[in-house]
Structure 1
Amino acid sequence: MRLSVISDQISLDEEKAFSQIQKEGYKEVELHDVFGHSIEECTPDEVKRLKTLLDQYGLRVSNLASTIFFLCPLFPDDQVSLFNPTFYSIEGDVERHLEYLKNACRIAQELDCPTIRIFPFRWPDNRQGPFGTKEDLDRICENISKAVEIARQEDRILVLENCPYSHLPKGQMTLEVVQRLNDPHLQLLWDPANSYRAIRKNVPQDYQGWSLEEELEALYPYIGHIHLKDYHYDEHFPKPFLHKALGDGDIDYECLLSKLYKKGYDKSLSLEPEVELDLTLLSMRRLKAFFQ
């Protein structure tokens, strides 16, 4: 079991983040926000700087958490916007995102990183859900197939994340894309917490039945990377899903992690806690202790 954490969850200063990750005994780091932008925007000089720092702190890159296809309209009239202004993301149409993907592949090769995250397209501000309809899935598959062709040429693996701000917030929904395209260069980035906090009105009824344990069983053969975070649901808040340190929320991670361990999962478990630094460090220590 390989443990990882997204560097910007520790610090926006790359060296400070890598130093702290090393001190916590982690050997892997996931990269999203670096040098004030998303990883797929890095220049060759920035990649060299990252490589120097990674070597200095003895870290391997588990995944490039790119924003390919996040702020990308699925249909021509769709209007998309950021849910959080501090989340760095590229913009533009499909062709522009595919150009960024080519750069991400080159960065992944330089950093010896096998996988690159992509998204199933931000749900639009100007259309009402549910999303993930047959028409949505057909268009998503059409566009992602173009990305898979680039990944095949560059010998990288794309991992498709179920994201609550996208057309496909549930793992069951991203599974359908991966099964339909059926290519070893496309796998799943499973985020169980994202499935848990999916906005129900945005999810078609057919995808609302599975528990997280059932999702894990179905998705397991296709998983290339996993994100971990925790939520507690409290209906008294305007945004009822409250971020918590790993183990303090509603998700039964003891069950999920035990199942992964028994199955012999040998890819990365990467923390994306989205909490204050002290709670991020607590999450790192709890995850590490689980496997000791």
Structure 2
Amino acid sequence: MIHLSAFADEISPDLNEQIAVLHSENIHYIDLRSVWKVNVLDFSDQQIEDIKRTLKEARIGVAAIGSPIGKVPIDSSFEEQLHRFERALKIAQALSAPYIRIFSFYPPIQDEAGSSNPAAYRDEVLSNLREMTRLARAAGIILIHENEKAIYGDSIERNVDLLKSINDPHFRAVLDPANYLQCDQVPYPGAYEAIAPWLEYVHVKDVRTDGTMAVAGDGAASWSAILERLRRDGYAGFVALEPHLQSAGQYQGFSGPELFHQASRALQDLLRAMGWSYA
């Protein structure tokens, strides 16, 4: 059985509205990225306690901290990023979240054509990620690396290299098929089979060939085939909705309540059609 989660700030900045929509869709977990237009890493201790209490009363668990860690230039201060990362670990522990979503840094941009030479920054990226993995291991938290466009590990080849080089149960992979499509990579079977040994988490959004976002199954991500393969391979983790149907920014996407309902129903319809149990 898999468990559905959601980046609930796609619904609304308001926590109570997020919870109401999640309840209406029978989703019992949240990927906590922001509330009240405040990023998860910027919550005060009191806000964390308030969120913890409210979610507990609503019987919603925190599946992952949707942090922006690693979504900074590789040549920026790692000390500052590490300070933010240590805060992420404390928040994950406070909210009993088993996972923290991270990224693998932006190589310097040379011009509009793209990054200068990502391979030149491999050693520094690996060094940073290894240090964060070491701290996550000590804290009992699993880092899940998202293959977002323009970060070092956006391509299948570089993503696999990171996973294989670090080779640690506390550094694992997110499968985000739409992100691969936006990098001109083939999500299935290409990306899926390449990262399968490290696959720990799934993000659900879809994108059409013209670049517009879509509900799962209405784009080019091959969601039916991916879900069938996940079930066949025994996947039993989280499947988190992150539809970006209204807007998609660098640090956060948004859908609004109605479009989120459509995204949730599309995913759940696919799951019901194949007879895959979920909670």
Bucket of the pairwise TM-score, normalised by the shorter protein: 0.7 to 0.9
Residue aligned with 1:61, SS: strand
Query: What residue is the counterpart of 1:6 in the other structure?
Result: 7
Note closer, same or farther for the CA distance 1:4–1:172 as it changes in structure 2 (3 Å cut).
farther
Superposed CA deviations along residues 238-260 of structure 1, whole A, max 9, x for unmatched, are xxx11112222122100011111
Contact 2:107 2:118 in 1 (8 A): no
Note closer, same or farther for the CA distance 1:226–1:171 as it changes in structure 2 (3 Å cut).
farther
Q: Does residue 75 of structure 1 match 2:60?
A: no
Task: Tell me the C-alpha RMSD between the 2 structures.
Answer: 1.8
Residue aligned with 1:68, SS: coil
Give the C-alpha shift of residue 183 in structure 1.
1.3
Give the C-alpha shift of residue 186 in structure 1.
0.6
Q: Higher relative contact order by CA 8 Å / sep ≥ 6: 1 or 2?
A: 2
- Percent of aligned positions with the same letter in both sequences? 26
Query: What residue is the counterpart of 2:249 in the other structure?
Result: none
Query: What residue is the counterpart of 1:164 in the other structure?
Result: 149
Contact 2:107 2:117 in 1 (8 A): no
Give the C-alpha shift of residue 95 in structure 1.
0.9
Distance in 2, matches of 1:279 and 1:170, equals 29
Contact 1:187 1:224 in 2 (8 A): yes
1:140-289 matches, within 5 Å, as 140-198=125-183, 212-234=188-210, 241-275=211-245, 276-277=255-256, 278-289=258-269
Q: Does residue 22 of structure 1 match 2:23?
A: yes
Amino acid at match of 2:236: D
Distance in 2, matches of 1:176 and 1:113, equals 27
Residue aligned with 2:261, SS: helix
Residue aligned with 2:153, SS: coil
Residue 119 (structure 1) aligned to one of 77, 88, 103: 103
Q: How many residues align?
A: 260
Q: Which runs of 5+ in 2 are unaligned?
A: 246-254, 273-279
Give the C-alpha shift of residue 170 in structure 1.
2.4
Moved more, 8-17 or 29-38: 29-38
Superposed CA deviations along residues 241-288 of structure 1, whole A, max 9, x for unmatched, are 111122221221000111111111111111110014322211111212
Moved over 3 A (4+): 123-133
Distance in 2, matches of 1:211 and 1:229, equals 12
